[in-house]
Structures are given as C-alpha cells and as structure tokens.
Amino acid sequence: MRTVWRWLWLCVLALLCLQLYFVARIALMAVLAPQSTAFQRSEAWRIAHDKGALPWTQQWLDSSQIPDSLKRAVIASEDDGFASHDGVDWGSLEKAWTKNSKAEQRAELKGTTKPPKVVGGSTITQQLAKNLFLSGERTLLRKGQEFVLTMALETLLSKKRILEIYLNSVEWGEGVFGAEAAAQHYFRKPASRLTAFEAARLVVMLPRPKYFEKTPNSAYLNSRAAVIAARLGDARLP
C-alpha cells in the first residue's frame, strides 16, 4: 500500500512541477516572444518527415506593427467577446456542447460509423494555449490542461499581449506562421499594408488554412471575408 501511495504522490508532484513550468514559460512571454510553439514544432517534424524539407516562414511583429484591421477581423470572426471575457466564453462553449451532442445523436440514429464533425467553442486565448503547449488530441485530460493554461495566460499576460502572440504564431498554411508570413505568402506585401478585405480574407482561412491555401478562389472564402470586413467596426480591441 505504501508503494501505491508513494507513486500517487510522485504523480501529483510531477503534475505540479509541470504546471509550474508552464506558468514560468508564460510569465517569460510577458517580455520575451516565444521562439516556437508545440504545434509549430509538430508541424515542422511532420513536413520534414513527409517531404524531407523544412519550409517554415515566420517573422515576429510587435503589436504596433500589426494593423488594427487584422486584429479586429480575428476578433470579429473567432472571438467577438475577447476583450471582455476571462479566457473562456461560457455561452459559446455551452452552444458548442449542445451542437456536438445533437450531432452525435443523429449519427447514432443513422447508424453511421463516421464520427460527426466536432464544433468547438474555443476563444483566442484557448487556441493560443493549445498551440503553445499541447497536442491536437481531443481528450478530457487535454481539455482540462488547456483550461489551466488559459487561466494562466489571462492572469499573467495582458489581452493585448495575448492577441500579439496569437497573430504571430497562428498557422496560415503549410509552414506559414504569423501575420507577416501570411501577408507575404498570399498578397506579396507586408502585413502593415493589408487592406480591410485582405485582412478579413486571411482570418476566414484560420479554421482550415491548409484547405484554403489550395483553394484560394473559393466562393465561400470571398463571401465570408466580405461579411467579416463589414463587421470590423463592431469588433472591440483590448
């Protein structure tokens, strides 16, 4: 019995040390830009393994160098309550949970073995927490860790800094990370010169960047970008 308790205490201690490591990393991000994220590193390994090459473009921009149109677009499209919530949008999370449950029920009634598409309710802070430190697996344990990291990000960093890190590290295509790399890749211009429509178009790509990278003339992409561009004035910046 003592051996069991000893192992349990060691597991708790290891988990605590891991959380302290995450907190220390996040605290450093208040003054130092992260050189890479867990998602970027996993993508780099995948690309190198599949293609034997490592195409990776990323250039850090300070918040003042990122156009407000891009900041407003990502808030309008991804997380319209970003400036006011505590890192988790509980209303959106509840709606996503309900929608996923209904999708699972419909799949069971149809007797299909294909899992239904999972709809998320993640905020910008939650997406950043996942990209910075976690894998892409969908488990309750990983979701719990994401919640802890989200709270740490919101506690230790300002909303402005969270948005800055997010826009510099989010994926915009295979090996394309951050606003500057995306602007150069798709429009051959610096991010500071993006028009409102171009900014909106980039943001609409975010849920499926690799897909839209291959279908740049998608009718959905253009129509949705027009909707987001029209909503920029309603997006509240932190």
Residue extents of the structural domains in the chain = 1-28
CA–CA distance, 197 with 26 (Å, rounded to integer): 33
Would you call 146 helix, strand, or coil by DSSP? helix
What's the CA gap between 115 and 1, in Å, rounded?
42
3-class state of residue 57 by DSSP: strand
Q: Which two tokens stand for residue 109?
A: 């009634």
CA gap 202, 213 in Å, rounded? 10
Which residue did the predictor score with more confidence, 116 or 147?
147
How many whole angstroms separate alpha carbon 38 and alpha carbon 53?
19
Tokens of 43: 């993508």
For the cut 50, the answer to whether the pLDDT of residue 119 exceeds it is: no
Residue scoring higher pLDDT (101 or 23): 23
Q: Is the pLDDT of residue 134 over 80?
A: yes
- List of residues 6+ apart from 19 with CB closer than 8 A: 148
Residue 11 — very low, low, confident or very high, per pLDDT cuts 50/70/90? confident
pLDDT at 163: 97
3-state secondary structure of 88: coil
User: Model pTM?
Assistant: 0.87
pLDDT for position 159: 97
Q: Interior CA angle at 136 toward 132 and 142, to 5°?
A: 80
What integer pLDDT is reported at residue 142 of this predicted model? 83
Identify the pLDDT of residue 221.
Answer: 93
- Residue pair 75/237 in contact (Cβ under 8 Å)? The answer is yes
- Token pair, residue 74, equals 């990502």
DSSP classification of residue 230: H
CA angle 27, 67, 77 (to 5 degrees): 80
- Lowest pLDDT segment from 19-28, 33-42, 105-114: 105-114
In the chain the first and final C-alpha atoms are separated, in Å, by: 53
In the prediction, which pLDDT does 117 show?
A: 47
Summarize pLDDT for 228-238 with one digit per residue, the tens. Answer: 999 999 999 99
E-assigned strands of the chain?
A: 171-173, 176-177
Which band of pLDDT confidence, cut at 50, 70 and 90, is reported for residue 44? confident
Please choose, from the candidates 194, 202, 200, 208, the residue with its C-alpha nearest in 3D space to the C-alpha of residue 227. Answer: 200
**The pLDDT of residue 158:** 96
Taking only the tens place, the pLDDT of each residue in 156-177 is 999 999 999 999 999 999 999 9
Confidence of residue 121 (pLDDT cuts 50, 70, 90): low
